[in-house]
């Protein structure tokens, strides 16, 4: 219980400093990383995505443009947004998907910044689950909701690929820049832009981000 209270205090302090316009946001980010290690020793991790199972959709059924939101603890109500173009196809072992991703401005979740990049293809299991290793990604300062710096991270995205216009799950990984921090257990969501209404969902429970 003491560790939980300490972590909440550390997170709250870091958010206040960053969102209040700290003159050196990277220093605040680094300070948070140090407090995180002091509290945990090593960060807890998660080994899977969303529970349950489903029958994956047919290839092409969910293709389209989505808002991808990555939500880390240090910015618990303001995601890092990307426009994701989803393409699905029949692979050797079943359904596969790729994502073409364009970083967006965290302030309006519409304006495009930085270079687009692609990940995949990734296989989808018969129960709808997937484990997608994105490798090392880089997003511009405008997409980083924590500080005005380019964000570099290794990211592994896990979840369920089920019919519908909303996908979600867990993201594991490590930020290497602007400061090293374990982001295991982060949340991610994908909402079809054809039906999306602001603000975006933050997690599988449907909690909403701060409004613009």
CATH at 157: 2.40.128
Q: What's the pLDDT score for residue 171?
A: 97
The answer to whether residue 114 scores a pLDDT higher than 80 is: yes
Whether residue 17 lies inside any domain: the answer is no
Q: Distances in Å between the alpha carbon of 87 and those of 35, 59, 98, 100, 121?
A: 40, 8, 5, 8, 9
CA torsion, ordered 146, 149, 155, 159, to nearest 10 deg = 40
Give the pLDDT band (50/70/90) at residue 51: low
In a domain, 173, yes or no: yes
- Is 137 inside any structural domain? yes
Residue 89 resides in a domain? yes
Q: Is pLDDT larger for residue 44 or for residue 136?
A: 136
Look at the chain and report how many structural domains it folds into.
1
Position 15 pLDDT exceeds 50: no
* Span 106-112, average pLDDT: 98
pTM confidence score: 0.78
Residue 24 has pLDDT above 80, yes or no: no
Flag whether 152 is in a domain: yes
Domain span holding position 172: 55-192
Extract the tokens encoding 204. 């599988």
């Amino acid at each position: 219980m003491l560790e939980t209270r300490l972590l909440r205090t550390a997170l709250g302090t870091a958010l206040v400093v960053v969102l209040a316009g700290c003159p050196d946001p990277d220093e605040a980010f680094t300070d948070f990383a140090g407090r995180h290690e002091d509290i945990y020793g090593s960060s807890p991790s998660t080994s899977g995505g969303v529970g349950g199972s489903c029958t994956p959709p047919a290839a092409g059924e969910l293709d389209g443009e989505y808002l991808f939101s990555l939500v880390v603890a240090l910015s618990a109500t303001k995601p890092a947004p990307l426009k994701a173009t989803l393409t699905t196809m029949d692979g050797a072992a079943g359904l596969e998907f790729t994502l073409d991703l364009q970083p967006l401005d965290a302030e309006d979740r519409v304006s495009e910044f930085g270079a687009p990049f692609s990940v995949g293809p990734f296989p989808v299991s018969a129960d709808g689950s997937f484990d997608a290793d994105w490798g090392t990604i880089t997003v511009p300062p405008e997409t980083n909701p924590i500080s005005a710096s380019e964000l570099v991270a290794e990211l592994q995205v896990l979840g369920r690929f089920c019919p519908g216009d909303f996908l979600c799950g867990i993201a594991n990984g490590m930020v290497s820049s602007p400061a090293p921090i374990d982001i295991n257990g982060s949340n991610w969501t994908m909402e079809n832009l054809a039906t999306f209404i602001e603000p975006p969902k933050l997690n599988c429970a449907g909690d909403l981000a701060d409004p613009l």
